[in-house]
Every structure is written in C-alpha cells, then in structure tokens.
Amino acid sequence: EGVASTLLQDLLPYFMAPAQLKTYDRIMKNRLGRDDGRREVERFAHSLLMDCQIGMNSNELPQSFTGDIQFYHSPADEIWPPRVDGSYEDFPYLWKSYTSGSFSAEEIGQLSPDDLGGVNSPIMPAMCRDLTTLVRS
C-alpha cells in the first residue's frame, strides 16, 4: 500500500491530469486487494523508476525525421491537456522539434480522448483531407 500511496500522492500528480490520476487511484485500490495486483503495482512503480533513469541518462533523442507531421488534438483532452503548469506550456507544439520537415497542429473541437480516437472521430475526415491534398500536390 505504501508504494501505491507514494505513486498517487507524490509522483503521479507531477505528470498526470486530475482525471487520469483519479482513474489510477481507482485502479490501484482495486489491485491492492489481490496478491497479483500488488505485484502489478510494484511492477508499475519499477517501470516508472526505470523511465526516470532512462530520462535522466539520455535527454537528447535523435531528431532526424525528415517527414511532415500534422498533429491533431483537443483542448478537452484530460490525459494530455494542452498545458500543464510547471511541465509544459503548449503540448501540441512539443512535437515540432522532432522533424526537420514541416509541422502543423490542428485543434479538433472539445472532444474527450475516447471521442477523439473513436469511430466517429472528426480526425479521420481531417486526415483524409490532408492526404488528398498531399497526393494532389
């Protein structure tokens, strides 16, 4: 329980939106009721620790992608909100530095992550429009 408490109170709030943190709280409480669930929580904590070690050891990723990036996003995304004070100011544009090609970001309405990635998402028509433009040029 101490590992889950430390994760939920001291670590995860630094990089998770409140809605995502609430979901993780529910998941952790559920898992702590089972032996295999407690091991899952410990594995999750260990993987976060390893992610931090990797991040601290190598902050420079090769940014050699030469293709174009079109980033679709929603300001209603609670998992990756457009801005998190103290972490980042403009999430969509964090991707710009990963290409030497062109970059643009397009806001797709006030949609949840589920709606943004769902079968009725407006992203599909936007992607088809962009691909059509690319093919015709």
Among 127, 69, 131, 133, CA closest to 100? 69
What was the pLDDT predicted at 135?
92
Instruction: Check if the beta carbon of residue 68 is closer than 8 Å to that of residue 101.
Output: yes
d(CA 111, CA 77): 7
d(CA 137, CA 45): 48
Mention every residue, 6+ apart, whose C-beta is less than 8 A from residue 69.
95, 96, 98, 99, 101, 102, 103, 104
Instruction: Check if the beta carbon of residue 123 is closer than 8 Å to that of residue 108.
Output: yes
What was the pLDDT predicted at 136?
92
Mention every residue, 6+ apart, whose C-beta is less than 8 A from residue 25.
8
The tens-digit pLDDT sequence of the chain (137 residues) is: 787 888 777 778 877 788 888 888 888 888 888 888 888 888 888 787 776 665 555 455 566 788 888 888 888 887 788 888 877 888 888 888 888 889 999 898 888 877 887 788 888 888 888 889 889 98
What was the pLDDT predicted at 55?
56
HSE-CB of 44 using CA atoms within 13 angstroms: 19
Say whether pTM exceeds 0.85: no
Among 64, 24, 71, CA closest to 44? 24
What was the pLDDT predicted at 104?
92
DSSP letter assigned to residue 13: G
What was the pLDDT predicted at 86?
78
What was the pLDDT predicted at 83?
85
What was the pLDDT predicted at 52?
65
